[in-house]
Amino acid sequence: MKIGSISENLEFEKRIAITPEIVKKYLSLGFEISLTENYGSHLGIKDDEYLKQGVKIFKDENEILNNSNLILQLGMLSDEKSSLLKKNQTLIGVLNPYNNKEKLFEIAKKNINLFSLELLPRITRAQSMDILSSQANLAGYKAVIESFANFEKAIPMMMTAAGTVPAAKVLVVGAGVAGLQAIATAKRMGAIVFATDVRSASKEQVESLGGKFLTIESSENMETEGGYAKEASEDFKKKQEELLSETLKKIDIVICTALIPGKKAPLIIKESMINNLQSGSVIYDLAAIQGGNTAFTEVDKIIEKNGVKIMGESNILNKLPISASSLYSKNVFNFVDNLFDKETKKIEIKLEDEIIEKTLIK
């Protein structure tokens, strides 16, 4: 069985799917690995590091795609590269099925196995493969670092002979994996942290990290069976807006992390609410690529409204590509290990396995 991976478009994606440290695990299962020349050079990983482990390096990406049983990537292949895929090959990556639905359907019709890892079920057995958790964890951390770097005041409280500098007040909107890491990071750096989430079950997690949970009384169940947030009702949104409008008057930094899988990000911070923030405040919107949680978010731009900076990037993990690649490559290996039958030495697509059934694009 042969595994291949070709270089991503570095303008959009700096992460890689196979790191040198994970190679030996694939080899121990009996796989051969082929990579593009300079596959990890942008991360400081030389081809020699792969060659020493027994990886084959090719200049021609098409040769890798033609000869691999499994192709491991971050994002979707280009149309040109997708057209080279053949019957019974398997492509594993973050294929964004909500935006690439028609393209993926056409590829799947050729009897090519497509697995999109963001569709993994939130079950205990899938935790080691959960790319959303591993990558969101880093994104939540980096969002705090980026917003603090653009905030022109000190973060922790400082008592000096000249007077006291008050601690910055941070509001985290959405207490999923990214939000919880944002809370923990901001708290470690000395900020006073508040958080809100449509899922009341998040309260205990927020408070365990030292954050103050802002509660909206509601009888609605705002959580899906898979542990994700549901889209809120109009009544809930109105209550949330009232709470946030008042809270924002005392907030310095807002970290937005609210996403609904497969849908446009909910608009939470409206124009009138931004006017409640003091000049010099910062909003970092992790939901930018899906439309943003604020009224003015623009991807890869810093927008200023009434002295408030609003930031959002298409891929914040491009600023942590080494750490992100290390975690992603381990997630992918664990997924492949689950697919691989140790006796037949083949990929076995067992649809009775919830992990395989949920991630396979049919």
Positions marked catalytic: 122, 127, 130, 133, 228
- Spatial neighbors of 206 by CB under 8 A, at least 6 apart, are 175, 180, 183, 195, 197, 212, 213
Both tokens of 254, joined, read 């807002």
**Whether the Cβ atoms of residue 311 and residue 282 lie closer than 8 Å to each other:** yes
Both tokens of 57, joined, read 């390096």
Both tokens of 335, joined, read 């997924």
**Whether the Cβ atoms of residue 232 and residue 240 lie closer than 8 Å to each other:** yes
Both tokens of 245, joined, read 């409008």
Signed CA dihedral, 155, 158, 161, 163: sign only: positive
- Secondary structure of residue 313 in the 3-state scheme: coil
**What is the Cα–Cα distance from 186 to 148, expressed in whole angstroms?**
9
DSSP state of 41: G
Both tokens of 78, joined, read 């280009």
**What is the Cα–Cα distance from 334 to 130, expressed in whole angstroms?**
9
**Whether the Cβ atoms of residue 301 and residue 289 lie closer than 8 Å to each other:** no
Phi-psi domain of 227 (left: phi exceeds 0; alpha: psi -120 through 50; beta: other): left
**Whether the Cβ atoms of residue 49 and residue 78 lie closer than 8 Å to each other:** no
Give strand ranges (E) for 125-238.
158-160, 163-165, 169-173, 192-196, 212-213
